[in-house]
Structure 1
Amino acid sequence: MALKILSIPPLIMTGLLIIATGCGEKAVQQNFDEKVVVETVEAVQKEVAIPVHSSGKLSAKLEVKLAFKTGGITDRIYFDEGQTLKKGQLLAQLDLSEINAQVVQARAAFEKALRDLERVKKLYEDNVTTLEQLQNASTALEIAASRVKVAEFNLHYSSIFAPANGKILKRFVEPGELVGGGSPVFLFGSDENDWIVRIGVVDMDIIRLTLGDSASVFFDTYPDIRFSAYISEIAETADPMIGTFEVEVTLDKNEHKLVSGFIAKVDIVPSKREAFYIIPVESLVEGDGKNGFVYTLEKDTGVARKIGVEIGHIFDREIAISSGLKDGDAVIFKGVEYLSDGTQVRASRL
């Protein structure tokens, strides 16, 4: 039986070809639309300074505890907390009855030793006494003179004088109170020197700091004011109790009223700069301490790849990546929430 070959009219054949072509284009368009639309930024290494953050207490550069050299009964207290002082002003004094008696006794002993030496000299000239006796009398005079100096020194430091212009920050003793030698009577702060903030810095940060590095200091008392400052001292050894290194930050001169004890927040900008890849913070999809993950776009295949990176620092809207990226990488920062490793994507901007 012979097969019959159907003859398709040319008009119908043309229609079928149009339908087939349209279906193919629709399938391609559908596949294109199914790709995740992302936006990328090119990874470029930049030299940046990673800030160091810490906090501490404000104090005067010259802030010392003032005390009597000897112990005794406090006789007079002339100033109270918060009062302004001038250098050399008498602040407090012990009852000097006992100390004055010691001075009188020492001076009398010196005068006696001086008379004894003069008498022994004459006897020695007359060959009545020996050279040893003359030498002993001279030594006794020297000892007596030293005792006078000690007694007068103790008398002077039985009174406390202001070491500079400043203020009484704290008073620890009341009149009539018995105090020991060296026990603090006042906490004194000078207003002739700078204001400083001492902060603790960990070992990873201390190696990035140098003297003169600029800093910003903030106080809750002045929430909208930034106080400029700089590093004036850096400790060479760690505090054995807490393991941090002390850094002294000195505030620049300003017109604001500052009080010792203010809690300060300090941001230091090191002069030493380091190389990092700076990318938008939205790029980070996972993070654990210094480790995290981002997606990069393979430009030739259009595939998103999840890669591990090391985080150097997180700024307000950017992240500094220390390793894991290379120059020219297309880092995805929009659309990352829809991605997994190997997802086909379409970049709206490279």
Structure 2
Amino acid sequence: MNYESGVMAEKGDPITVDFDPDEDDRLEKRRTDRRRIIIIAGLIVLGLAIAAYFAMRGGTTTPAGEENAQAPTVTVVRPGRTTVEGEITATGSLAARREMPVGVVGEGGRVVSVPVDAGDWVSQGQVLARIDRSVQSQQVQSFSAQVQVAQSDADLAQANLDRALQLVERGFVSQADVDRLTATRDAAVARVRVAQAQLAELRARNARLDILAPAAGYVLERNVEPGQTVSAGSPPLFRIARGGEMELLARLNEDALASISPGTRAQVRPVGTDKLFTGQVWQVSPIISEQDRQGTARIALSYAPGLRPGGFATATIASGTVVAPILPESAVLSDEDGAYVLIINGEDKAERRAVTTGTVTSKGIVIAEGLNGSERVVLRAGGFLTEGETVRTQLAELDD
């Protein structure tokens, strides 16, 4: 640098110093370059540190505890094994256990009165309908008169025979006359019997004009009205449930039929009501339908106003006891492959397990096959887990 300075000889004169401006620019440039170098070096060091971090991360395994800490938490249960009353659910239609169709058993005719209606209780021999018998009544009177005529002839013949027997000892009447009078008397008595039989037959025919209840029961249908003409070929005029007894014709598959027997208890609930009716199986179908591979279990029921023949009902039939795990409905999932549950294995990973479900009870769904009861089963949200996913578990207790 070039400096020019001058010193005044005299006191008080200023001293001046001259600086080179290019020298300042060079100093500023050096400082800028130094800062740039420092920044670049810092970025290089930072980049190397980041690269080393990712290199170390990629070449090492995350500790199990840290991995589990990041895993979702699910609630699991250990179902164990429970003794459950086996139940079979079936559907079917209600009917009269012993239905009696009642029709015309005589000659028929015009109906003059129908004293009963559907829904009435009737006793054995009670008149259900009366048929006009005005002509038959006249015939009865005619036959009654014929009986009287025949009886009079028989009485006369007997009197003639008695007189002849008194005279035969005196010789006024021969034995041949006695034999003839005896034959006349016997013929007259026979005619009386014929007339009496004809009268009894007519009275029996007239009695059959009344439609009578063959047994005590509950009238299900009435298909006749006063003024209607009926005959022996007419359809049944009444249908009666003998004793008012009903039954449910429950349809069951072959396996279910094999597990029940006559006398098995059942609960029946007609459609449209929550009321239960207790009955018991009284007959198991000896054949299986070739169309649907099902048979019929007939469940006897006592009369009740809520049981209407022809209605639809559901039956729950007891089928003995079973020992099996029970799971809440939320734990059992299903898809096109069938029912399954998600269990948590020893590595805390979700694992699919196919199961066979049994009956549905108030406690949950019986698992017939697939679980032994010691597994940790995902209680809820199983549908949001994927097989093989690592989870943390929280054990819940099932309600008794």
**TM-score for both structures, normalised by structure 1:** 0.66
> 1:100 offset after TM fit, Å?
6.3
Structure 2 distance, partners of 1:51, 1:105, is 68
Question: Which of 290, 293, 301 does residue 340 from structure 2 map onto?
Answer: 293
Task: Return the offset for 1:52.
Answer: 1.6
CA positional deviation for 1:229:
1.0
CA contact (8 A) 1:69 1:154 kept: no
**Do the aligned partners of 1:36 and 1:335 also contact (CA within 8 Å) in 2?**
no
**Equivalent in 352, 357, 367 of residue 321 of structure 1:** 367
Structure with greater helix percent: 2
Q: Distance in 1 between matches of 2:353 and 2:225?
A: 69
Length, aligned pairs only: 307
Pairs within 5 Å for 1:1-350: 30-48=66-84, 49-57=86-94, 59=96, 63-82=99-118, 84=120, 87=123, 88-96=125-133, 153-163=204-214, 168-181=219-232, 183-189=235-241, 193-203=243-253, 204-210=255-261, 211-218=263-270, 220=272, 223=273, 226-238=275-287, 243-251=294-302, 257-258=305-306, 260-261=308-309, 263=311, 265-288=313-336, 291-299=338-346, 301-315=347-361, 318-349=364-395
Q: Aligned-pair distance for 1:181?
A: 1.5
Residues 55 and 32 (structure 1), Cα distance of their counterparts in 2 relative to 1, 3 Å cut: same
Cα deviation, residue 213, structure 1:
0.4
Structure 1 outlier segments of 4+, above 6 Å: 100-109, 141-150
Question: How far 1:239 moved relative to its partner?
Answer: 7.7
Larger radius of gyration: 2
CA change 1:153–1:236 in 2 (3 A) is farther
For the Cα contact (< 8 Å) 2:114–2:128, is it kept in 1? Answer: yes
* Cα deviation, residue 245, structure 1: 0.5
Cα deviation digits, residues 75-98 of structure 1 (max 9, x gap): 322325247465343222233367
Over 3 Å counting, the alpha-carbon distance change for 1:304 and 1:28 in structure 2 is closer
- Do the aligned partners of residues 342 and 168 (structure 1) sit closer, same or farther apart at CA in structure 2, a change above 3 Å counting? closer
Deviations 1:39-58 (A, max 9, x none): 22224233321242324336
Number of the residue aligned with 1:130: none
For residues 391 and 83 of structure 2, the distance between their equivalents in structure 1, rounded to whole angstroms, comes to 31
Give 3-state SS (helix, strand or coil) of 1:91's partner: strand
Partners of 2:90 and 2:252 within 8 A in 1? no
- Report the alpha carbon displacement of residue 152 of structure 1 after superposing the two structures with TM: 5.1
- Can you give the 5+ residue segments of structure 2 that lack an aligned partner in the other structure? 1-56, 158-175, 180-189
Structure 2 vs 1, CA of residues 106 and 329 (structure 1 numbering), >3 Å: closer, same or farther? farther
Q: Secondary structure at the match of 1:337?
A: helix
Structure 2 residue matching 1:64: 3-state secondary structure = strand
Q: Distance in 1 between matches of 2:244 and 2:71?
A: 63
* Identity, % of aligned positions: 16
Is the CA contact (8 Å cut-off) linking 1:227 and 1:251 kept in structure 2? no
* Preserved contact between residue 215 and residue 249 of structure 1 (Cα < 8 Å): no
Counterpart residue identity of residue 374, structure 2: G
C-alpha displacement at 1:69, in angstroms? 0.5
Letter in 2 for 1:347: T
State the 1:33 CA deviation.
2.4
Indicate conservation of the 8 Å contact 2:268/2:278, yes or no: yes
* C-alpha contact 2:114 2:226 (8 A) present in aligned 1: no
1:159-186 per-position Cα deviation (integer Å, ceiling 9, x unaligned):
1124456664432123333323163122
1:245 to 1:175, Cα distance in 2 relative to 1, 3 A: same
Instruction: Could you tell me which runs of 5 or more consecutive residues in structure 1 were left unpaired when the two chains were aligned.
Output: 1-22, 127-137
